Structure formats: structure tokens, C-alpha cells
Amino acid sequence: MLTPERQQKILELVQKQDVVKLQDFVDATGASESTIRRDLSQLEEANKLKRVHGGAAKVYQKTEERSILEKASINLHEKKQIAKKAAELVKDGDCIFLDAGTTTFQMIPYLENKQVTVVTNGFAHIQSLMERGVTTYIVGGFMKNKTGAIIGSKANQSLLDYNFDKAFIGANGVHLKSGYTTPDPEEASVKSLAIKLANEAFILADSSKIKEVTFAKIAPLHSAALLIDHLDESIAAAYRESTIVIEVMS
């Protein structure tokens, strides 16, 4: 297979699956791992995809956002591991904020036997929290259908009624210079306020979010610790200089 044909096949796989493992590229093209890695480097330089640990991911527009159903199954194993570690940080008696998001949603099963109070703006979170008998307060405001996040000025005003021991926040982008970002400014506003209202704040993000920058800034890196499945050694030191980094699958 010639290089242009092979690289086109790589791009087709990424567009179709969002995140593709290195071995899947090898299987689809019949090329060696070293050849695929070279192709991925060239395509990343051309901004046609983004390399992630063990493969490559689709590059999204700054305002483009997947629905909660689309997000739910992507990197699910990594999300569950991040969520489990995050839940271990929650102590009995804590009052916590759980942001709307698929990784924070995965925390809920691990909260079942903890004596905690949860405030959430995640519509999808409510039923799961109820089923597990977790004391829950719901943020008021406008519900965004695509993500199930409750946002807007009413949500921000509602949040001001609370103070949190810990806040657990999702992000679409994690970048050294641009910090934590998300496509929607109104969601970013809720996330940012929750971080300010918490004694400790944690961003839950799988490694596909590293080097990503989306439209709206949530907060600079130092504002919250980063819980992530894995950071490549080539960039880990730089991120650790900017914030606390907790790798759960290193």
C-alpha cells in the first residue's frame, strides 16, 4: 500500500471511530508499527489527527461537541479507572460538586457506601444518585439537551448557595497554555464557578484530551489537579510543573 493510500485509510478510520488504537491501524493497512507511527506523526503535523497514548484521535473544531450518548462509550475503560480514583478522594462527610459529564457519571457507583452530599448540574446523574441513596441537590437552570448539563445564569446563581469540599469537573481540552477548556461558554462558566467554590478541585480527563483546546476557557491548569489515565513521558514533566497530576494507569 502506497503512503498516500495508507494515510487516507488511517484518516478514514479516525473519522469513523474517533479514537483508534495503533494495532487497529496495523491490521487495517498491513504496515508495520514503525511505519504507522511515522504516518501518524506526519498527519498530526498536518493537523489532520491527534496522536494519543497507543493510537490517534479525531481533531474536532473548537465549538464542536459530541452528545452525551456519543461520549459515553469512548475510552470507557480509562474513564472508569479515573472515576474510581476520584471517588477514593471523597471522604465521609464531604460535600462535593459533580459536574455533568461521562467521566464524573462513572464516579457514582463508587459513592454508594459513602456518607456524602452531592450537588450536580448533570441531568443524567440524578437517577443514578437516587438509586444509590446518595443525598443529592440539583442545580437549577436551563438544561442543554445535547449533554444533559444544566447551565446558564440560573445555574450559576443556584451554585452560589453552596460551598464544596471538593469539585469534580470534566473538560474537553487540557493544554499547557490554554488550560482547561470546553466548547460551550455557558458550561465553562458553571465549571469555573464550581472550581472557585471548592476547597479542592479536580479535572477528570482521559489522555485524548491532552493538547486539545476548545472554544471556552474553564480555568488555568493550576486551578485544579488533573486526574488522567496516562501522560506520555515526553510531556509529563511540563504538566507537573503547572499543576498536580494524578495518573491512574501509569
Read off the pLDDT of residues 171-204 as tens digits, 9 standing for 90 and up: 999 999 999 999 999 999 999 999 999 999 999 9
Residue 15 — very low, low, confident or very high, per pLDDT cuts 50/70/90? Answer: confident
Per-residue model confidence (pLDDT) at position 60: 65
Report which residue type is found at 163.
N
- Identical fold between 3-57 and 68-247: no
Judged against a pLDDT cut of 60, whether residue 67 lies above it is answered with: no
Domain 68-247 = CATH 3.30.70.1560: no
CATH code of the domain made up of 3-57 = 1.10.10.10
Tell me the backbone φ, ψ of residue 198, rounded to 5 degrees: -105, 145
Tell me the backbone φ, ψ of residue 46, rounded to 5 degrees: -85, 5
Which of 45, 58, 47, 6 has its CA nearest to residue 29?
A: 6
Q: What is the mean pLDDT of the chain?
A: 90
Judged against a pLDDT cut of 80, whether residue 136 lies above it is answered with: yes
What CA–CA distance (Å, rounded) separates 139 from 104? 16
What CA–CA distance (Å, rounded) separates 27 from 37? 14
How confident is the model over 136-155, as a mean pLDDT?
93
pTM over 0.95? The answer is: no
Per-residue model confidence (pLDDT) at position 72: 54
